[in-house]
Structures are given as structure tokens and as C-alpha cells.
A and B are shown apart, each in its own frame.
Chain A
């Protein structure tokens, strides 16, 4: 007997006989309707409708499925986690991420974790909103569309807090571009195809919308072959007194922007499942179609509605489409809601009510307006050639009611809908079986350096960066690429407000390779990298965003490493006094090629008190002194050097938080006092690569002496050159500022290790005194630019 009965309606709807269903059948329903709910959850639904003495409609089941999905509800981060030894964590989110922010409680945090984007104060009554999203699964199936709609989605998140987007970021992870075609399983696209599509998609959306893409990174890792990683970020500006969240009963819901179609059905449930060979076939409709111009128009209208104070709340239609936007809006303002789904403008006729309600068609915003403002608000949309329609009303009775052609198609208790079962998952910490490699010190360090500069994770990404407009809006004060040779600046600075010299420093940190060794230190290193990149250009008062990309959390060891990473987030954020203001997790990144390398992206947004004090990374003048700040340890585990040699290693770089914080503080002082000419952070490839980059971005050379480098337990030249110890900088100082700089650095690990030379050569003397590197800067530059700047 079928559990589905066609409802007696002129349109397409089914009733599902859950009351009679066995456990097995409940799971079947979950599968057949694409709900991705487990048996506990299905039984909860069964019980609810039994008590109501009726069976659910497909609209109701879909609504519940979307609302309870991992993507919308973050069951793993909000749920309980049990370890084998009995230890229990009640919500990773509350225990670690939000706890740091709560304990630090800085006054400048205006709104954290509550809305679509985190908000911090800026200047002259303005606030800065920031959000970073992942769009991995759609990008794996359709690289261009997946990436483009990822950008579109995160921009709408920022609009969803009434902020005008001023900058975008993108951090991407691909499999090796030279991946063997023969090793590629069916259904997995070649990294080169994915790389081209994703970078084109990111560029197309940001460029068309006229939002500069100012910061980002590209990583290559074997595990990203089956699980492409696409992080899209957006920063916006809003006058804080226009930050309106005051929707109430009687206010009208207006859906504006793109029309609704069958694209993007079940995007969120798709995002909460593993990728399989069938993903393409089954999930192609889950990928939406991008139309950046539509969103540009919607943006204009929403900002005008904000400025004229016509709206009482807004949110974007993203994951879950209307089902999450409508439900969450009602829930947030303590109301119920009634929506007439037949009023929603459609791309084509014939959509069933449930399809309309869960469709993730792009470029749509939900704006709530008091009835007296409705006409004016609709006129604003009309002027911008944007279709906008009143579809429903907030109600006193706390029920979610959906109607279609006059028939009630869903009628759910809000409390039931927004109180899903707490998930309980098991975690296990895996013992590391890794070992440190033993190998003799190679003779030719210069050759190693050339190879490292050309390594995909280090090599110039100029061909991609320049395909993104990073100057539109005319506010990019420090560009992603510096000088005539496109040197890699540590962070971008934008100056978003006319009449204010304040700037925003935007940087990121990510160390996937360390994640293969230890998730705790990987996460700690990512925070350190994001913060030091920000500090390096003059950023202060830094806020962080966390974005996890992990494997299936149902597998205890995956969840165990996630817990470890969260622990690091709390510890390091507390030590650095850098609160998290927003975050997002993307779990279930598994493909026929295996799980994704545990990856945490940290995005840092710092305040630059005066952009005129901003610092770039290229060498400025011959005769200037070069300092290293921070101590070097024998920490080569997960380094690019080991990778080049074919090792992973074990001694992953740690963050010594107390010293690191002192170092950052001193650097900030030195920069704001104008005592430095150039600063560059040490990351992949260590000292040798950072020094090369400073030189190859300039007309000058460098002479360095390794014997002077402050270190602990490092007895080999190659380890000093290529160790990736955290919290280190190279700093160029004018001789006249020597005393000032050294006074500021007193008590920190630092040393003058060389000078800038007129001759464009990189000369490094080793521990024995002899020259171990003597290379022309032109060669270094060529090696660095070659890998990715060919027509790949």
C-alpha cells in the first residue's frame, strides 16, 4: 500500500500517511522526498501528526526537512557530542566558538552570531558586517554556477543585515591541476576543469555586481580533488541607526528579485549529504543559476528601503529558500506567519506548492514592511526594475500557515518546527601514528627555493587575482597584488567611507596540510596566520570568522578532530583577544576519493586607524635593514618543504600564544609609529620564501645571515630556511628608525638579519658562514610566476 495519497486539490499535492508507517517506511519517506532526516527525527514528526490527528502534506514534510537540515540548523555544532571516555560536550558552538566572544565581550561587537552576518562598529556611526560561506557541493557538480551563486549568496547575507557590500573575498581549494585523468573516479570532475569554472564563476559574479574581490587564497590538496572547497566572503557597511529589526504582527512579507523556479531544489539537503557518483544526476537541480545583474538591482532597492526606513526587517532567501527565510523571520520576531504561495512570481507554471516553498532560486530577498509603507517600498523596487510581491503577513498566533489557491497546504506549530531533537553524536580522538622523516640535508638550497617558489600553494596567483575586479568602488587602498611585479600583500586595505581615514584590513589564514597531522594546531595556525597577516598591514582590533570544512561527522574520528579544532579556536581567540563574530560549517565533504582534509578558514577583519599608515610587503630602498621578528622552531611537519621532499612529518607548527600576542602588539606599535618600511609574514615556505617574495616584488635584493636568526633547537640550514613556525614577520627598517624599532621590540624574539641591496640578488649565508643561496631576483620572480600564470 502506498503511503502517498494525492490530495483532493486542483494543484499537485500529496498527503503522506505517516501514522501507519513502519520505521522502515518512515526512512523510505525521508529518502524518497529527499528530506535527509534520520529515524529519530521522522518519529518525532510521526508523533506530532498523530497528536494532530491528521497526516502531513508533502509541503509540511519538506518544510520540516529543510528547517531541520544540517545546513539550516547546524545540528552537529548545536547538538551533543559524547566521547568514549564519557566526556560530553553540549554544543560545540556554545562551548568554544561563541564562548570566546562572550567572555571577551568587546564593546565594539554590535551583533554576533545572531543575524545573517556578524556586525562590528566602524566609524562615524557606521558598522561593518562580515560573512563567509561555503559552496562546496554545488561547485563540485557545476563549478561555474556553484561558485557564482556562492558569491551571490554571501552578498545577500550581508544585505540581509541592511549592509551595503563593499568587498568580497574568496578562498578556494582544488585537487592538483596535473591530476592523472586515469585515476579520476566516475562522477568526479578534473581539478583543472573545476579550477577554471570556479575562478570564472567567482569573478563573474563579483565583477558584474561591482563589488571588489580584494582578498583570497588558492590551495591545492589531493583531498580537494573529490571535494572542491569554495569559500566566499563579503564585507558590508551600514549606518548602525538604520539597522532595523522591528518586524511585528501585521507587517507584510515582500519577496523581491528573481522569480522562483525549480533550480536549487533541495540545495540544503544536498549540502548535508556526501557526494557520490550519482550526485550529478540526482543533484544537478540543486545547483542554482546565477544572475548577478538581478542582484545588483535588488541591492540598490534594499539599500534605498533601508535609507528611507521603509522596512522593519530583511533576510535573504538562501539555503532552504522561502522555507527558512519565512520561518526564521517569524520565529525571530516571536510571531506566526501566513503566506500565500500562489502569489510568488514563478519562472514557469506548474510548480507544486512544496517546490515553490523550498526552491533556492537566486537573487531573492525577503523584506518585511509595515502595511503603511508597502506602496512606497514596492515603488522603490519598481524603479530598479525589480519584481516585488507581497506574499504574506506576520500573525499573532504562533503557527506557520501556507496557502495555495485558497487551500491550506501547511499548518504547523512554530514551536514544534523550531525545536528539533538534539542530535547526539559520538566522537573519538585518534592517536597519531605519524613519524618525523629522517633525511640528510640537501646540498643545493637555491634549487629547493626555486622549486618551492613554483610550488602551486606558493606560486603567484596573479592570473586569477587580476581576473577579479579588485578596484571597483575606488576604495581599495592596499591592493591584493603589490607593485610593478604583483607581490602578494598579506592583507588588503579598503577605505570604505568618504571623509574618514579609517580603513578595513581583510586577511585570511588556512593551513590544510597541518590538518592532516593535528586539527588543533591546524586551527591554531590558521588563526595565527589570519591575525598576523592583518597585523602586517596595520590592522588592529581584529574580529574573526570561522568556516569549517570537514568530513562526515557521523564518523567518530572526524568529529573528534572537529572538537580539537574548536578547542583551538577558543584557546587562541581568548589569548589573542580576537572574538569570533560569525561562522559557518560545511560538513559531509566526502567523495568516492575519500574525505576532505579537515580545513578551517579563518577570515580576519581588522581596523586600520589611519590608512595612511598602511604597510605593503615589497622592499622599499637599498641600505635599509631587514629584521626577523619571532622565533624559528624545528617545525616542518606539514610544511611545503616536507611536501616537496615527499614527507608529511609530525612536528606541526604550534602557536605559542603568550609570545605571539606580545609580538603582534609590538608590531602594531612599530607600524603605527611609522618605524617600518615593509612587513611580510612568514608562512608557506618559511623565511626563504618570504624574503624572496619581498625582493621579487621590488627592484632590490637582500643579503641575509642565518646565524643571526633567533631559533630554538634548529641546527640545519634547510630547517631555518623553510620551517613554517607561526607568529613571525620579516620587517624592513630604515637605518634612522633602528633605535625606535629596537626599543619597541625589546623583550621579544627578534634580530637584524641582513640588509636591502641595490643589486637585485638574494644572498643568504648559512650557519657555517658560507653562502648557501645566491640567486638573481629575476630568476626567483620567474620561478614564482611560472606555475599558474601560464594559460592553465
Chain B
């Protein structure tokens, strides 16, 4: 029973994180161009 409650809490926290992540995410326009810079930093 305790384990079941604990798992429910974990699932709730994970769900809250996912929803929160989507909510606070700044929309970054998906870019169709490719992502090869060949390491220029």
C-alpha cells in the first residue's frame, strides 16, 4: 500500500514536471535547416 502511494506520488510529480516544462517553455521555431557546424566553439 505504501509503495503504491509512493509510486502514485512519483507519477504525479513526473506529470507535473512535464506539464510545467511545456508551460514554461519558450517557443522556439522549429528549424528545418540542418545542424552541422563541425565543431566550431
A and B found bound together: no
